[in-house]
Amino acid sequence: MAGVDALLIDLDGVVWVGGDPIPGSVGAIDQLRSHGVEVVFLTNDPRAAPDFYAAKLTEVGLPTATDEVITAGRAVAAFVARREGNGGPVFVIGSEGLHREVRAAGLTPCDPEAADEARAVVVGGHDDFHYAELRAAVRAVDAGATVYAAGRDATFPMPDGRWPATGAILAAVEYATGVRGVAVGKPHRFIFDLARDRLPADRRIGMVGDNLDADIAGGREAGLHTTLVLTGSTRPDDLQRSQVRPDLVAPDLAAFARMVVADRHES
């Protein structure tokens, strides 16, 4: 943690659960910012665009600009545009927010009826996943489309328990098509590089998350100092069983912020 002066901070399970702030998280980020730590929020939730999350963070007491939020939806759209070329067409399994990100990247979402013309299938978790989407994805892949996804997270924390995430829908697509997709959300290096681009080049960056496989493994692979908080998807017994080791474990974001501030005072 010594020397870290910028942080990538996950949202679900770190800042909030179901949009309700985890006790102490808002004050923790205020404290970090007031001590000169720059913050970029980095989420694997592709259901909405960065401006939605920026507005939500501002609403709960954390004034946040749109360019201070990186979503897996934005990452996968940018990645597909780079790989497949602008213009599309692509078939999107996802929310209107993901469709919006795909269009903003210069790609053209197509209707299920035209899925066999798609260059790519873009998968993001959403509440209205339907068998018709899965059927269209199979047609697209059979016609030569590549599968991309906003991540492999199986679930994400909500107040009433775990909810299926992008990885659950991606698993259905992969099983039905027999093709393994390219998951561009955390832990893929691409989304971390997008976040780095939002920060000055001389910043020493850390990653704070609740998911060992996405946040911590990805952060370590990107060369970042990693902190696991225990307010989301990972429990202490999960940590004992995992081969993924964070640099630091904190009970919550508030405790982590106190450690950072104490460290900066000692430096």
Active site residue ranges: 10, 12
Rounded Cα gap, residues 53 and 58, in angstroms: 8
Q: According to the model, what pLDDT value does residue 1 have? A: 53
pLDDT above 80 for 209:
yes
List Cα–Cα distances, 108 to 103, 140, 227, in angstroms. 6, 14, 38
pLDDT tens for residues 136-188?
999 999 999 999 999 999 999 999 999 999 999 999 999 999 999 999 999 99
Rounded Cα gap, residues 208 and 225, in angstroms: 9
Query: Nearest 5°: CA angle at 260, between 256 and 261?
Result: 115
**pLDDT over 70 for what percent of the chain?**
98
Domains of the chain (ranges plus CATH)?
Answer: 77-183 (3.40.50.1000)
This prediction's pTM? 0.93
Cβ atoms within 10 Å, residue 158: 14
Q: According to the model, what pLDDT value does residue 201 have? A: 85
